[in-house]
Chains A and B, each alone.
Chain A
Amino acid sequence: MTTLSFPIIRRPMHPTGVWSWITTIDHKRIGILYGVTAFALFILGGIEALLIRTQLIGPDRDFVSAEVFNQLFTMHGTTMIFLAIMPLGAAFFNFVIPLQIGARDVAFPRLNAFSYWTFLAGAIILNASWFLGGAPNAGWFGYAPITGQAFNPGHGIDFWIIGLQVLGIASLAAAFNFIVTIINMRAPGMTWMRLPLFTWMTFITAILLVLAFPVITVALIELMFDRKFGTNFFFTPAGGNPVLWQHLFWVFGHPEVYILILPAMGIVSEVLPTFSKKPLFGYPTVVLAGALIGFMGWMVWSHHMFTVGLGPIANSVFTITTMAIAVPTGIKIFNWLGTIWKGSLDFRTPMLFALGFIVLFTIGGISGVMHSMASSDAQQQDTYFIIAHIHYVLFSGAIMAIMAGIYYWFPKFSGRMYDERMGKMHFVLMFIGQNLAFFPMHFYGLDGMPRRIYTYDADMGWTALNALSTSGAYLIAFSFFIFIFNMVKSWRKGEKAANDPWDGRTLEWSIPSPPPEHNFDEIPTVHDRDDWWARKRGGVKHGVPVSGGSGEGHAIHMPQPSFWPIVVSIGLLVGAFGLIYNVAVAGIGGGIAMVGIYAWAFEPVNEPDEKQPAHH
């Protein structure tokens, strides 16, 4: 074995402190890294939103300039979608999936670390633009030709392009990892129809990611070539067609919204049964509806482009497919209602957030069906009505569900209980705040207020409702102060959590809180859909208690920490800045990444024991 090693730096065998986090390949630690980083970026995106709302609190204000306003809404959208909701989802994938399927880690632990560090690199690139000549300013879907060199000569768009490419690499690596993990690392007896719902939705999300991201990669490459090399993809004088950008973006962009919402649906499908003391109603239907959403998500993208002038046939086709995709979503909602129907409900914070999700997500779904109709959408396109819709599905939908998930799994990942009173206060204030902020948008949207204008005139009649929206935004911000206080305080000195504080159903509750490094002393054998629940109630006669948490005793070989994932990510980071500023620097970045890849390839997953003969 030693002949194979590639000794540039000694392997960190037992790192401590900061190094242990930098070199970690433990899925639980990576999950926590993802969660904390993504939450910090969520706060950043939230501050951008507050600045936007402060500007719009009244008519004719000049709190920020029009240009800064453009940068704010672009970065708010990009940050919330790519740097907050997606990686917050990834935090749950990382922490929860191996525990739910009864595995000791993901299939590719080092690739997992690479995903995180590359995500961080992408976040750094995007946000560095603030300090290097201005952030991107063309909206989160960056329509051509406003992103072209002629109309946008600064580096903002370059940061946006390269940042999204790097984030794409991170997401793709993570998605491949989770596809293989879920197919190939399920515990014995964990058949597809016994798979926990969150794992199912993650699986579908990962498939969508793997198929959708190459499309945006191509679109961004084309845009980059237009800007860097003067190609003609979106250059109209040479016959280039900006509508192609819209198509490519939304071919990716619509599956992307399901990438954002499916994990949220998975979380809700875990929380509701647990706090209703009932199995999930219609489990196969919920799975099938999820798969259908994933499939049909590919057939609806042009509903973002109804006003482009695609013609009556295209508009009709996409109207019909868009209306049809509401059906599997509706099926899920009815299944959730069926789950809580006649359950013995326990209104803990996670349950409150999950219930809030159902109510508010349904409102967002209904406004979605309203603009699924091309004729009706012509009135709503690019108004605040659309902003209301996206915030009801992504904030009141995805973020509410993510909050449910954070409270639900907090005892598991921290080993402590959160403060229930503060949790409920957070829920109440956030619930009120978001309705104050987003519900009035329906009205001034339909009244014609366009999105992305940096100010409006006093006699438009939008003043009062805008002030209401802004006060709602401040209320949301306040509710998050409570959340952060609760998290920090509880994580440090909260009451110690039991292994299974919620009387849970899935395998993660069968092991200690927080889980030992190797998760399961013995890999469990699964006999039931809600296996842990059944085992606790004697439903499985041969059920073996899976964990005593003794930890060290067995000769369990966990993968060892590694430097190389972060080295490759640093190479990508340097290379990305090189692509923007200087090709030679890009070469250096590529070189660093190359060294990292070779060293990674030649580094064994775990070092062999000394006593074992190196027989290869």
Chain B
Amino acid sequence: MLEASIFATVLCGFLGTIFKKNLVMKIISMDIMSTGVIAYYVLVSSRDGVFTPILSLKNDVSYADPVPQAVILTAIVIGFSIQALMLVGVMKLSKDNPTLETQVIEENNTP
């Protein structure tokens, strides 16, 4: 069930990147897609248990897998920095294309 919702999120985001006309909306759709991917990593790490993997006095608990969490932390940072970079680019573009319609920008800037 959870897995299905996660893939639905990824799919929604991906369809958004295709069908949304506005450049900012496209970037937000991409963010939704990456939210889905991140959630999937969290789901995979919680397969064997949901306890925070920190050594404590309680011994007989099933810990969550720390590796995917550590990995996705890197991916979150990278994803957010790329989005920041893209939004700066969009800001620059918006001076000459205030509506930010992808089609218009594309027509203006393709030889």
Q: Do A and B come from one complex?
A: no
